[in-house]
Amino acid sequence: MATSPGNLAGTTGRGGVEGLGSLGIHATGLTKSYGGQRVLDALHLAVPSGSVCALLGPNGAGKTTTVRILATLTTADSGTARVAGHDIAAERTRVRRAIALTGQFAAVDDLQTGLETLRMTGRLAGLTAAEARARADELLERFGLTEAAGKLARTYSGGMRRRLDLAASLVGRPRVLFLDEPTTGLDPRSRQELWQVVRELRGDGATVLLTTQYLEEADQLADRVTVLDSGRIAAEGTAAELKSRVAGHRLDLVLTSRGAYEALAGRAVHHVPDELTLGVPTDGSAAHVRALLDELDPDRTAVDRFTLRTATLDDVFLALTGADR
Amino acid sequence: MTTTATLSARSLRMSLRSPDALITALMLPIMLMLIFVYFFGGAIDTGDGSAYVTYVVPGAMLLCAGFGAASTAVTVCHDMTDGVVDRLRSLDVGGVPFLAAHVTASVLRNLVSTSLVLLVALAIGFRPEAGPTGLLASAGLLLAYITSISWLAAALGLLARTPEAAGGFTFLMMFLPYPSSAFVPISTMPSWLHGFAEHQPLTPLIESLRALLMSRPAGDAPWTALAWCAAITAVSVALTSVFFRRRTR
C-alpha cells in the first residue's frame, strides 16, 4: 500500500456541513441497558472533525455499543448525539449517508470477488454503475487488492479481507468512519498495513472513531484516547497524557502475611493473592521506591521482598480501567 | 428498486457459486421424483387409471420449491449474523429491500429448479394435456406458492439465531408435501390423517395443478390454493417486519 496523497475517504465528496474546529462526533449522556444490565452509562464524547479518537477498553466495556448507537444501528435509552452535524435519532438517513462502519467481523461475502463486493457497495451507496466501477478500481488499487480483484473473497487472507471490508466502507466517501476493533485477529504485518490506511484516512480529513483493546494501537493512531470501563469513561486524553498519568514502573511487593496483604491491597494495581504479591505504581527512582516502602511499611514488617518492573502497556491499561481489581 | 435488484443479483451470484446448495435444491427433488416413479410408483394405484408420473409431477414440483426456499432461510440468517446486515443498514438499506431481494432471488431460483423438474418429468413420460390457459394458470399458481414460501423462509431465517437452526426450521416446509395428495391418494392414508391431509394448504394446490395440467375440471381448488398462498404471504411479510425490527434493535 503506497502512501500517495489520493483522497481515500474523500471528505470533499459530499460537501461537509461542519466547518473547521467543529465536532465530527458529539455525544451527550448516552445510556444503554440490555436486559437490566447497564452497558453504557451517561457517556460523553466529543471528537473534533478530522481527528482520530480511540475508544480503549476491555471486552464488555461498551465500545461496540457506543459505535452501534452512533452509527444508528441501535438506539440509546437516553442521551443524544450528533454525527457529522446530524442528530442520530431525528436525522438517521443523513447520518447514514455521512458515515461508514467496519465491524469486528469483516462483512465480506465469501462467494463474491473483491471487485463485485466493491461495485455492489457502490451501487447500494447510490453511485451509477459506471461510477461504482471506477470507484471500485480506485479502491482496489489503493488497498493493494488489484491482483486479487477477480478472486472470490473466500480465498483471501485475514488481512486482505479486512482491507476489502474497509475499502467497501469507504466506497460512499464517508465523512465519519467507525472502525470497531479493526485489527483484532490480524497478524502483526496486516495490522501495520491497516494502521497505515487509518493514518492516510486522517490525512484525508475524515473523522475516525476506532475501538481497540490495545493501548499501542490507540497510541499509534489516535489524537485522543477515551478509556472505557463498564460503560463509563475511566480516563481521557492523549496517549502520552494517559501514559504519564500512570507511573512508568511497578514495584512488586511480596508480603509477609495475609493481613499485610489485605491492608495494602487497595493501593495496588496488580494482585496475586496466592503469592501474597501486590504491584504498586512508581516512577522507578530510588527516592520514590524508598519513600514508597517507608510509607507502605513504616514498621518494616509487612514487606518481605520486592522487585522493580517496567510497566507494560497492559499495566497502564489495567491501572486505568481497574480491570485487575 | 436499484437496491433490491443489486442485492438480488448478489444472492443469485452467490447461490450459483455454492454448488452444494444448488445440487441439493435441484437433485434431491428430481431424485425423489425418479424414486417415486420408478421404485414406488408401480405399487401405487392412484385410482384414476393414468400413469403414476402424471400423478406425481405437481407434488414433485412443490417439493422442489420447498427445498429451494429452505436455502433462503439459511442465507437470510447468515446475513443477519455475520455483519452483512450492519453494513447494509449503515448504507441506509432498510429491511424491506433487503428481504425483498432475498425473496426475489429465491423465487427466480425456484422457478428455474421447478422448470428443471418439469423437464425431467417430460423426459420420463409426463404428457400434460393443458392448453395455454391451463399452463398459464398452473404457472401462476406455482409462482404464488413459491412467493409465499419464500417469504415464509425469510421469516424463519430472521427468527433463527444460527444458520443451522434456520435450516432446521425449514424441515417442516419440506415435510409438508408427504401428508398431502402429492404422492399417494389421501384415501389410502389412515383415517385420522384425512382431516389434516385434505385441509392442509398443499392439497388444494396439488389438486389444482393436477387438474389444470391434465385439462380436468378443477372446481374451486385453485381459489382455495390461492387463498392459502395469499394468507401465508401476508402473515410471513408481517412476521418478517416484526422479526427484522426485533433483530436490529
Under an 8 A CB cutoff, do B91 and A120 touch? no
pLDDT band at A314 (very low <50, low <70, confident <90, very high): low
Under an 8 A CB cutoff, do A111 and B87 touch? no
| Closest chain B CA to residue A172 | B91
Nearest CA distance, A98 vs chain B (angstrom): 9
Stretch A99-112: mean pLDDT, rounded?
Answer: 86
Q: Which of A16-30, A97-111, A121-135, B153-167 has the lowest mean pLDDT?
A: A16-30
Mutation target vs A (from B85, B91, B248; most A CBs, 10 A cutoff): B91
> Rounded distance, CA A165 to CA A171, Å?
10
**Residue with grid cell 494482585, as numbered in its chain:** A271
Please tell me if residue B63 touches chain A, with a CB cutoff of 8 Å: no
> Rounded distance, CA B184 to CA B177, Å?
10
- B77-112 tens-digit pLDDT: 999 988 899 889 988 898 999 999 999 999 999 998
pLDDT band at A312 (very low <50, low <70, confident <90, very high): low
**3-state secondary structure at position A128:** coil
| Closest chain A CA to residue B247 | A74
Under an 8 A CB cutoff, do A96 and B248 touch? no
> Rounded distance, CA B224 to CA B247, Å?
34
Please tell me if residue B86 touches chain A, with a CB cutoff of 8 Å: yes
**What is the average pLDDT score of chain A?**
85
Please tell me if residue B6 touches chain A, with a CB cutoff of 8 Å: yes
Q: Which of B6, B7, B84 sits opposite A107 (nearest CB)?
A: B84
> Rounded distance, CA A237 to CA A230, Å?
18
Total-model pTM: 0.81
**Residue with grid cell 469483516, as numbered in its chain:** A106
Please tell me if residue A34 touches chain B, with a CB cutoff of 8 Å: no
Q: Which of A72, A105, A112 sits opposite B82 (nearest CB)?
A: A105
Q: Which residues of B touch A101 (CB under 8 A)?
A: 86-87, 90
- pLDDT-above-90 percentage for chain B: 49
Q: Which residues of B touch A75 (CB under 8 A)?
A: 249
pLDDT at A165 (0 to 100) = 92
Phi, psi for residue A76 in degrees, rounded to 5: -80, 150
Q: Which residues of A touch B13 (CB under 8 A)?
A: 111-112, 116
Nearest CA distance, A169 vs chain B (angstrom): 8
pLDDT at A21 (0 to 100) = 58
Under an 8 A CB cutoff, do B18 and A111 touch? yes
> Rounded distance, CA A137 to CA A222, Å?
29
| Closest chain B CA to residue A111 | B14
- A162-203 tens-digit pLDDT: 899 999 999 988 999 999 998 888 888 888 888 888 888 888
Q: What is the DSSP string of A50-81?
A: T-EEEEE--TTSSHHHHHHHHTTSS--SEEEE
Q: Which residues of A touch B92 (CB under 8 A)?
A: 93, 96-97
Under an 8 A CB cutoff, do A124 and B93 touch? yes
pLDDT for A264 beyond 70: yes
Q: Which of B84, B90, B249 sits opposite A100 (nearest CB)?
A: B90
Please tell me if residue B246 touches chain A, with a CB cutoff of 8 Å: no
Q: Which of A74, A93, A111 sits opposite B92 (nearest CB)?
A: A93
- Compute and round to an integer the Cα radius of gyration of chain A: 23
How many angstroms from the chain centroid is the CA of residue B206?
A: 12
pLDDT at A204 (0 to 100) = 80
pLDDT at A325 (0 to 100) = 41
pLDDT at A313 (0 to 100) = 55
Nearest CA distance, B70 vs chain A (angstrom): 19
> Rounded distance, CA B14 to CA B228, Å?
31
- Between residues 49 and 88 of chain A, which touch chain B (CB distance below 8 Å)? 68, 71-75
Q: Which of A260-264, B23-27, B195-199 has the lowest mean pLDDT?
A: B23-27
pLDDT at A86 (0 to 100) = 94
Q: Which residues of B touch A123 (CB under 8 A)?
A: 2-3, 6
The DSSP symbol for B36 reads: I
Q: Which residues of A touch B6 (CB under 8 A)?
A: 120, 123-124
- A114-171 tens-digit pLDDT: 999 999 999 999 999 999 999 999 999 988 899 999 999 999 998 899 899 999 999 9
Q: B157 and B72 in contact (C-beta within 8 Å)?
A: yes
> According to the per-residue pLDDT averaged within each range, which of A102-106, B40-44, B228-232 is highest?
B228-232
Task: List helix spans (H) across chain A.
Answer: 63-70, 92-98, 114-124, 129-142, 158-170, 188-203, 215-221, 239-245, 258-264, 286-296, 313-321
Q: B40 and B71 in contact (C-beta within 8 Å)?
A: no
Q: Which residues of B touch A172 (CB under 8 A)?
A: 91
Stretch A217-227: mean pLDDT, rounded?
Answer: 90
Under an 8 A CB cutoff, do A106 and B83 touch? yes
ipTM summary value: 0.85
Selected residue with higher pLDDT from A18 and B165 = B165
Q: Which of B84, B87, B249 sits opposite A74 (nearest CB)?
A: B249
> According to the per-residue pLDDT averaged within each range, which of B35-49, B53-67, B144-158, B171-185 is highest?
B144-158
Under an 8 A CB cutoff, do B86 and A103 touch? yes
pLDDT band at A3 (very low <50, low <70, confident <90, very high): very low
Under an 8 A CB cutoff, do A109 and B14 touch? yes
Task: List helix spans (H) across A48-180.
Answer: 63-70, 92-98, 114-124, 129-142, 158-170
Under an 8 A CB cutoff, do A112 and B248 touch? no
Mutation target vs A (from B85, B92, B98; most A CBs, 10 A cutoff): B92
Give the H or E element holding residue B46: none
Nearest CA distance, B62 vs chain A (angstrom): 28
